Amino acid sequence: MKKIFLLLYLFPLVLMAQEERNTRENAFRTDTLVSDKSIKFIGIPIAFYTPETEFAFGGGGQIFLLKNTNTYNERLSNILFSGIYTLNEQLIFEVKPQIYLGKGNYFIDASYQLEIYPNQFWGIGPKTLDTNLEIYKQTTHALRFAFLKRLPPDLNFGFEYTFKNHQVTEIQEGGILASGTVPGSDRAVVSALGAIFNLDTRDNTGSPTKGQYLQAKAQFSSELIGATSAFNKYVIDLRTYSVVNDKSTLATQIYAESNYGDIPFQALASYGGGTRARGYFFGRFIDNHMYVVQAEYRYRFKPRWTAAAFGLIGEVAERPETFFNADTFKPSFGAGVRYKLFKDQNTYLRFDIGSGIDGNSGIYFGVNEAF
């Protein structure tokens, strides 16, 4: 299903670049951006359209804490917040603080999200039919808090707590969710403790051209800490960025997710979306286990223009031993362009078209690379 995102970041990003240049001189102030020696603020208008939401609009902002800097890679502490309302009466509100402490030796990565949002469900498994499609409405409160310690030079280790309260408010009469056989079909609470380990040598986080990002994460949701069911989630995310020549980069990613236990459908591995499986609606296929292998070639044909081509393959399964079944492979391929907003800053606008099998496809417009 085609999906079009239009994020109106261009104007505020221009302001941010201008502010970056003027902060050093303490001389730049406007109604939409406030800066002093310790804090700077930028307003961000946001809009997008999808067939499911119709037109959506909103805004937010980003607060940069100039005195809380990671001195090892010059990344700034910041708090990003946004609110979005759609013509289909959907509401999304999010706050995401990322705070560096001890000059970057410690890192707090957190988020809170409220969603009042209709979604689509086709059932569970790698062979669900398009005719299974049903619409359900759900209100979600989601909180995540991670605390990481830097292990020199590029390793990070820490702990994470995740809380998600999914309240299903409306389901389709006679549908799969109405049968009562799907865990989470009326309500699901995820309350999970976890551990995170990663290696990050990327030259930048938004549009890397060299380096690696390797992450392993384990989460344990338990009724003892408030969950409605007990299950374990394990994630491995391996990315590499290789310089082919002075104008091109080859990016690769292997992503694997496994869930064990009594898993609500909201917490199952979800195939699709604008990052891991372009060309498929996010959640078109869900199950206990999933893997995605993708590669993207990026060629800078002009100083501020880049063309990209990507291909991927992956699948979901109830059990890992059933992977690599030719009947359940879900390949996708596509291409796109990127435009660098500023000569001295690696921030890109991205446009991609992805095509999967059985008529699945997607159009994506956003900021920076998919991975």
**Position 338, amino acid:** R
pLDDT of 28 above 60: no
What is the pLDDT at residue 49?
Answer: 57
What is the pLDDT at residue 26?
Answer: 32
C-alpha 166/C-alpha 177 separation (Å) is 14
pLDDT of 23 above 70: no
Using H for helix, E for strand and C for coil, what is the string for 86-120?
ECCCCEEEEEEEEEEEHHHCEEEEEEEEEEEEEEE
Q: What is the largest CA-CA distance in the chain?
A: 65
196-248 pLDDT, tens digit each: 999 999 988 888 999 999 999 999 999 999 999 999 999 999 999 999 999 99
Q: What is the mean pLDDT of the chain?
A: 87
pLDDT, greater one: 314 or 43: 314
Which domains are present in the chain? Answer: 1-65+77-95 (no CATH), 105-367 (2.40.160.50)
67-114 pLDDT, tens digit each: 888 888 788 899 989 999 988 788 999 999 999 999 889 999 999 999
- Residue from 370, 365, 371, 354 nearest 5 by CA: 365
161-186 pLDDT, tens digit each: 999 999 999 999 999 999 989 999 99
Question: Judging by DSSP bridges, how do beta strands 231-245 and 91-101 pair with one another?
Answer: unpaired
C-alpha 356/C-alpha 291 separation (Å) is 16
**What pTM was computed for the model?**
0.85
Q: What are phi and psi of 131, to 5 degrees?
A: -70, -10
Instruction: Give me the percent of the chain exceeding a pLDDT of 90.
Output: 64
- Residue from 371, 369, 351 nearest 6 by CA: 351
323-339 pLDDT, tens digit each: 988 889 999 999 999 99
Dihedral of alpha carbons 323, 324, 330, 335, sign: positive
Residues sharing a CB contact under 8 Å with residue 210, sequence separation 6 or more, in sequence order: 202, 203, 241, 242, 243, 249
Cα-only R_g, the chain: 21
What is the pLDDT at residue 48?
Answer: 64
111-166 pLDDT, tens digit each: 999 999 888 999 999 999 999 999 999 999 999 999 999 998 889 999 999 999 99
- With b for 16 or more beta-carbon neighbours within 10 A and e for fewer, the 88-98 pattern comes to eebebbbbbbb
What is the pLDDT at residue 226?
Answer: 96
**SS3 state of residue 2:** coil
Other CB atoms within a 10 A radius of the CB of residue 171 amount to 21
Check: CB of residue 260 under 8 Å from CB of residue 231.
Answer: yes
